[in-house]
Amino acid sequence: MAHFEAELTLIHAYGPGSLAYSDLALADPNLPEDVRRREEEHLRKFATESFPGAQAEVVVANGDAGTVVDQLVRSTGTDLVMLATHGHGVVRRLLLGSVTAKVLHDLDCAVWTATAGALKGRASAVRSVLCALDGGDTDETVARAGLAIAKSYGAELALVHVVEAPVPAVEMDYAIIRKELMDSANLRLREIKGTLGSNAPHAVLEGNVASQVHDEALRRKADLIVTGRGGDQGVVSRLWSNLYSIVRDAPCPVLSI
């Protein structure tokens, strides 16, 4: 917030469970307002303790968290949404939290998110930024954003593109086109760097996208991964299908744009 001189809004959505913390009876007409007031008090206390000296606006609303965030962003023109993520239930290792999934899917603004593991023991400083590109129309936008962030922090920047082997088919021999795909991706990254006037190192890797981005982030000691969501003009990029996995497995926070 201070780094970019941005305005800060803290938002908290609450549901029926909050009613249990009120001293009023369920039939009391003052119950909804009492619950809202309590939730706002808790959020203001959090804001004071977590952001001392900052003028943070607080918003509390009763409803589905993903919907509440979406409505606020659309009404205020927010540039960036930040939230942690986690899964629930027996498939928690396979899924993002439902709020994060909805936010990533519905919002047009940039979204910063991270798992608890990605945040554990991590300093707030950004020293290394990794841009994960997919060869789509948003690559230059993503790279430009990564370059701007890296410059603002005085951080190192690197780019990565992962080539996934297509589903095996009788009529296609992947080995024949593998070199062409790798060379094409390499040329694409060089062209993007040339357009941006950057000499950042880049890598073209092969395999599972999320795994390779994870490993490259570790190798580069990345503090932030910048990637795309493929939402420009309604076009869904190849990276979108891997975005959940990238966020879930990333060793650092992920900024998707």
pLDDT of 121 higher than 60: yes
- The pLDDT of 116-142, averaged and rounded, is 88
Per-residue pLDDT reduced to its tens digit, 59-68: 999 888 888 9
Domains and CATH numbers, the chain: 1-63 (no CATH), 128-256 (3.40.50.620)
Is the Cα torsion angle 252, 212, 155, 195 positive or negative in sign? negative
Pick the residue with more confidence: 5 or 110?
A: 110
Closest of 125, 108, 110 to residue 226, by C-alpha? 110
Side chain identity, residue 153: Y
- Give the three-state DSSP class for 240: helix
- The pLDDT of 49-63, averaged and rounded, is 88
- Are 249 and 210 spatial neighbours (Cβ–Cβ below 8 Å)? yes
**Do β-strands 254-256 and 110-114 pair in parallel, antiparallel, or remain unpaired?**
antiparallel
Judged by average pLDDT, the poorest of 43-47, 53-57, 236-240, 242-246 is 236-240
In DSSP notation, 169-227 reads BTTB-HHHHHHHHHHHHHHHHHHHHHHHT----EEEEES-HHHHHHHHHHHTT-SEEEE
Exposed e or buried b per residue across 56-72, where buried means at least 16 C-beta atoms within 10 angstroms of its C-beta: bebebbeeebbebbbeb
- The pLDDT of 132-154, averaged and rounded, is 94
Average pLDDT, the chain: 84
pLDDT of 178 higher than 80: yes
Q: Most confidently modeled of 15-19, 20-24, 63-67?
A: 63-67
pLDDT score recorded for residue 88 = 44
pLDDT score recorded for residue 128 = 97
pLDDT score recorded for residue 242 = 82
- Are 78 and 9 spatial neighbours (Cβ–Cβ below 8 Å)? yes
pLDDT score recorded for residue 85 = 81
pLDDT score recorded for residue 89 = 39
Structure confidence at residue 4 as a pLDDT band (50, 70, 90): confident
DSSP H stretches of helix in the chain = 31-50, 65-76, 98-106, 116-119, 139-153, 174-196, 209-219, 240-249
- Are 35 and 23 spatial neighbours (Cβ–Cβ below 8 Å)? no
Structure confidence at residue 124 as a pLDDT band (50, 70, 90): confident
- What percent of the chain lies above the pLDDT cut of 90? 45
Per-residue pLDDT reduced to its tens digit, 155-170: 999 999 999 876 655 5
pLDDT score recorded for residue 26 = 66
User: Structure tokens of 221?
Assistant: 């000691």
Structure confidence at residue 96 as a pLDDT band (50, 70, 90): low
Exposed e or buried b per residue across 205-226, where buried means at least 16 C-beta atoms within 10 angstroms of its C-beta: beebbbebbbbbbeebebbbbb
Containing H/E element for 11? strand 8-14
Q: Most confidently modeled of 36-40, 113-117, 189-193?
A: 189-193
